[in-house]
């Protein structure tokens, strides 16, 4: 799943639909969030400084990289005794999935990269509003209600303009995530890992498994040009741009996503 997001962020209807189609679905918390190991031995990074260094191409000092997180995914498959898998990732998870497909070809049946990017320099970045929402920390001493309100504002900002999610549903999802785990420092370390990992284009060109790239035409956080570039970088990749979709997986698009995934995973 994406930056700072827990496994419960995968829409349950999407998971249930894949199970009904006959797939064995594995979802997990990335390191530093949810119920997975927190790397408290590393201090919280300065996100503003990390962003400024990324603008000028200076090297980043990261606690870990996306390659480490791809290794985590392979370790999980090993622990579960899964020899090969269809790898699906969203946003940061899409970057991790790309690395799995590129580095572990013998373990990857197919790749689906959703609302993600190749990391190539020169691609458009988030809108100023989306960037500010991502970078700004919660103020010290913020109440739970203030945290939820702020999160709702962020989700609304980056969400799908043509497929709005009811505020009640957003609040319920945020409350559930807060009850399960809170890891702002882990999210910050993940963000620096993304920035530090750089351009994956040379690796993407090595991918030989069937690849599907799904992207929203109205994504303010990872613009659609990033999805187009990803698809163009992977030999034979199929690109599906969804009009009106932003940087989320709204209920109104679940059936379409299930159809796209099933068609792709079955090689049709």
Average pLDDT rounded to a whole number, residues 174-195: 92
Cα 91 to Cα 78, 203, 222, 227: the distances in Å are 24, 17, 8, 10
Average pLDDT rounded to a whole number, residues 83-100: 98
**pLDDT score recorded for residue 209:** 98
Q: Which domain holds residue 192?
A: 7-266
User: CB within 8 A of 251, min separation 6: which ones?
Assistant: 11, 13, 163, 165, 169
- Say if CB 102 and CB 200 are below 8 A apart: yes
Lowest mean pLDDT among 11-25, 32-46, 165-179: 32-46
- Say if CB 224 and CB 123 are below 8 A apart: no
**pLDDT score recorded for residue 151:** 94
Q: Beta-carbon neighbour count of residue 198 at 10 Å?
A: 16
- Say if CB 265 and CB 110 are below 8 A apart: yes
Q: Is residue 77 part of a domain?
A: yes
- Helix or strand (DSSP H, E) at 131: helix 128-135
Q: Is residue 152 part of a domain?
A: yes
User: Tokens 């993940």 appear where?
Assistant: 190
Give the integer Cα–Cα distance in Å for 106 and 229.
25
Chain segment 98-154, per-residue pLDDT in tens: 999 999 999 999 999 999 999 999 999 999 999 888 777 777 788 999 999 999 999
Number of domains the chain is built from? 1
Residues counted in the chain: 268
Backbone angles phi, psi at 48, to 5 degrees: -65, -45
For residue 50, pLDDT over 80 is answered with no
* Mean predicted lDDT score pLDDT of the chain: 93
**pLDDT score recorded for residue 57:** 67
DSSP 110: E
Q: Beta-carbon neighbour count of residue 57 at 10 Å?
A: 8
**pLDDT score recorded for residue 40:** 86
**pLDDT score recorded for residue 197:** 86
Which CATH number belongs to the domain containing residue 259 in this structure? 3.40.50.1820
**pLDDT score recorded for residue 10:** 98
Axis crossing angle, helix 12-20 with helix 254-265, rounded to the nearest 10: 40
**pLDDT score recorded for residue 55:** 63
**pLDDT score recorded for residue 159:** 97
Give the integer Cα–Cα distance in Å for 166 and 67.
36
Chain segment 190-240, per-residue pLDDT in tens: 999 998 888 999 999 999 999 999 999 999 999 999 999 999 999 999 999
**pLDDT score recorded for residue 53:** 64
Q: Is residue 139 part of a domain?
A: yes
Q: Beta-carbon neighbour count of residue 82 at 10 Å?
A: 13
Give the integer Cα–Cα distance in Å for 226 and 213.
10
DSSP 253: G
Q: Is residue 2 part of a domain?
A: no
pTM of the complete model beyond 0.75: yes
Rg (CA), the chain: 17
Q: Is residue 1 part of a domain?
A: no
**pLDDT score recorded for residue 56:** 59
Q: Nearest 5 degrees, angle CA 17-CA 19-CA 24? A: 145
**Cα dihedral 249, 253, 254, 260 sign:** negative
Burial class (CB in 10 A: 0-12, 13-18, 19+), 21: middle
Q: Which of 181, 237, 175 is nearest to 205 (CA)?
A: 237
Chain segment 1-27, per-residue pLDDT in tens: 899 999 999 999 999 999 999 999 999
Average pLDDT rounded to a whole number, residues 58-73: 89
């Amino acid at each position: 799943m994406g930056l700072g997001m827990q496994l419960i962020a995968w829409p349950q209807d999407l998971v249930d639909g894949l199970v009904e189609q006959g797939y064995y679905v594995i979802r997990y918390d990335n390191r530093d969030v949810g119920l997975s190991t927190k790397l408290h031995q590393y201090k919280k990074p300065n996100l503003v400084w990390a962003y400024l260094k990324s603008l000028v191409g200076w090297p980043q000092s990261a606690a870990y990289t996306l390659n480490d997180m791809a290794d985590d995914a392979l370790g999980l498959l090993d622990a579960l005794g899964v020899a090969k898998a269809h790898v699906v990732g969203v946003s940061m998870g899409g970057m991790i999935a790309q690395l799995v497909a590129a580095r572990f070809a013998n373990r990857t049946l197919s790749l689906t990269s959703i609302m993600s990017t190749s990391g190539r320099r020169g691609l458009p970045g988030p809108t100023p509003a989306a960037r500010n929402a991502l970078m700004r920390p919660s103020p010290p001493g913020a109440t739970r209600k203030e945290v939820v309100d702020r999160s709702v504002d962020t989700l609304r900002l980056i969400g799908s303009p043509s497929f709005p999610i009811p505020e009640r549903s957003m609040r319920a999802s945020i409350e559930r995530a807060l009850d399960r785990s809170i890891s702002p420092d882990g999210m910050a370390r993940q963000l620096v890992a993304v920035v530090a990992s750089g351009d994956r284009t040379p690796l993407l060109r090595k991918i030989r498994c069937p690849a599907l790239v799904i992207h929203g035409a109205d994504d303010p956080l990872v613009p659609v040009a990033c999805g187009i570039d990803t698809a163009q970088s992977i030999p034979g990749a199929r690109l599906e741009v969804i009009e009106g979709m932003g940087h989320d997986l709204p209920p109104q698009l679940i059936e379409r996503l299930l159809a796209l995934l099933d068609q792709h995973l079955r090689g049709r």
